[in-house]
């Protein structure tokens, strides 16, 4: 899936159907020209319904959908025949989609299960026919209720990726390489920042035919929570992850980094998450020191000894598969405790 094909936010103008008008018909037969009221009720207008579909991973199919209208209810007929109910308009979305009213920013609901349906805008009720207004003092009511008008307005659909483990790190921290090694995901990989411009999901096979889902979240930079870089756009996806895996490289173009430099980078990442949503700091987490194929073993040992006193940490190399089985074990343990 190319970067242009991952769409996680759309805005659509929707209108639910009007209810049909009740009938004010008066029956006339050959035997009884004043048989009385026999007007049926109007049908209810169709609603705007948002439905979860586990086979969808993006809102791409709605990218060019600007208007969605439900059908109006039919008018009531003579002989107490009800009007036809208007058809609902169904909008299918991936699991993890939040529905909001744009004008008020009110959350209508969150689609979390396959087949789950949420009414974004309810259709208007059908009007009552004149048979409902007949009484001892009013034998021939010549009126009926009009149908209730539907509702219209803008709604937004906002996707938050559902995954068990979210990868958090600065650009070029090795997240895409790790997810390609652990799972069936095949993200674009290159040695420059912001290679990943969309979240990538991968299924990680574990022992005894078990599995968990891992998400490669596009790189965060310092100031992302204030709108810098592209991190702000994707920070909301981290809210859905059960466990966070912070990824920090042990080496860069200037050589092996110090334990203090790594700790500083970890604190910056934590600060950006806290600034976006303080509850993110309550999630279970693990720190992976990546690219350990780029540093001497004795320097790695010294750095890990210092870091392990302060953080739950593991050193890995996605290129050589070093400690990848161990990191899966630790992530599985965090997911199941």
Which of 9-18, 252-261, 276-285 is predicted most confidently? Answer: 9-18
Query: Cα(202)–Cα(217) distance, rounded to whole angstroms?
Result: 12
Rounded (10°) angle between helices 324-335 and 175-182: 90
Q: What is the pLDDT of residue 255?
A: 85
Average the pLDDT over 232-243 and give the result: 76
Could you tell me if 89 and 49 are in contact, meaning their C-beta atoms sit under 8 angstroms apart?
yes
Q: What is the pLDDT of residue 5?
A: 54
Six-digit token string for 19: 């209810």
Q: Is the pLDDT reported for residue 318 higher than 50?
A: yes
Dist CA 58 CA 94 (whole Å): 6
pLDDT at residue number 191: 47
Other C-beta atoms within 10 Å of 92: how many?
15
For domain 165-335, is the CATH number 3.40.50.720? no
Nearest by Cα to 180 from 199, 210, 200 = 200
Identify the CATH number of the domain defined by range 3-159.
2.70.210.12
Q: How far apart are the C-alpha atoms of 190 and 237, rounded to whole Å?
A: 23
* pLDDT score for 192: 44
Confidence of residue 316 (pLDDT cuts 50, 70, 90): very high
Question: Would you say residue 188 has pLDDT above 80?
Answer: no
For residues 37 and 80, is the Cβ–Cβ distance under 8 A? no
More confident call, 180 vs 100 = 100
- Integer Cα distance of 33 and 130 in angstroms: 17
State residue 185's pLDDT score: 53
Report the chain's C-alpha Rg in angstroms.
29
- pLDDT given at position 323: 95
Whether residue 42 is predicted with pLDDT greater than 70 in this model: the reply is: yes
- pLDDT of 60: 87
Q: How high does pLDDT run on average in the chain?
A: 87
User: To which H or E segment does residue 176 belong?
Assistant: helix 175-182
Average pLDDT estimate for 291-317: 94
Domain spans of the chain?
Answer: 3-159, 165-335
pLDDT of 46 strictly over 90? yes
At residue 234, does pLDDT exceed 60? yes
- Per residue in 56-85, pLDDT tens? 878 889 989 999 999 999 999 999 999 999
What phi and psi, each to the nearest 5 degrees, are found at residue 206? Answer: -120, -175
């Amino acid at each position: 899936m190319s970067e242009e094909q991952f769409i996680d936010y759309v805005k659509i103008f929707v209108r639910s159907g009007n209810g049909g008008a009740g009938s004010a018909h008066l029956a006339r037969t050959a035997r009884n020209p004043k048989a009385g009221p026999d007007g049926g009720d109007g049908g209810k207008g169709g609603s705007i319904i948002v439905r979860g579909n586990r086979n969808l991973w993006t809102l791409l199919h709605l990218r060019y959908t600007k208007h969605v209208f439900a059908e109006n209810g039919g008018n009531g007929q003579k002989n107490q025949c009800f009007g036809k109910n208007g058809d609902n308009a169904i909008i299918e979305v991936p699991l993890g989609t939040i529905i909001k009213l744009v004008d008020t920013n009110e959350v209508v609901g969150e689609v979390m299960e396959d087949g789950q349906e949420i009414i974004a805008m309810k259709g208007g009720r059908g009007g009552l026919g004149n048979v409902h207004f007949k009484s001892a003092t009013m034998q021939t009511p010549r009126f009926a209720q009009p149908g209730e008008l539907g509702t219209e307005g803008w709604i937004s659909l906002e996707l938050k990726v559902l995954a068990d483990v979210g990868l958090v790190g600065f650009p070029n921290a090795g997240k895409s390489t790790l997810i390609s090694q652990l799972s069936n995901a095949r993200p674009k990989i290159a040695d420059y920042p912001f290679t990943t411009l969309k979240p990538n999901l991968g299924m990680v096979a574990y022992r005894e035919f078990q599995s968990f889902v891992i998400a490669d979240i596009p790189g965060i930079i310092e100031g992302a929570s204030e709108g810098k870089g592209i991190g702000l756009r994707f920070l909301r996806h981290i809210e859905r992850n059960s466990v966070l895996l912070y990824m920090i490289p042990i080496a860069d173009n200037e050589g092996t980094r110090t334990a203090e430099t790594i700790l500083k980078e970890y604190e910056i990442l934590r600060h950006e998450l806290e600034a976006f949503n303080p509850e993110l700091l309550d999630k279970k987490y693990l720190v992976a020191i990546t690219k350990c194929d780029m540093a001497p073993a004795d320097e790695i040992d010294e750095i890990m000894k210092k870091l392990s006193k302060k953080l739950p940490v593991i050193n890995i190399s996605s290129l050589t598969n070093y400690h990848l089985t161990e990191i899966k074990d630790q992530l599985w343990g965090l997911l199941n405790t």
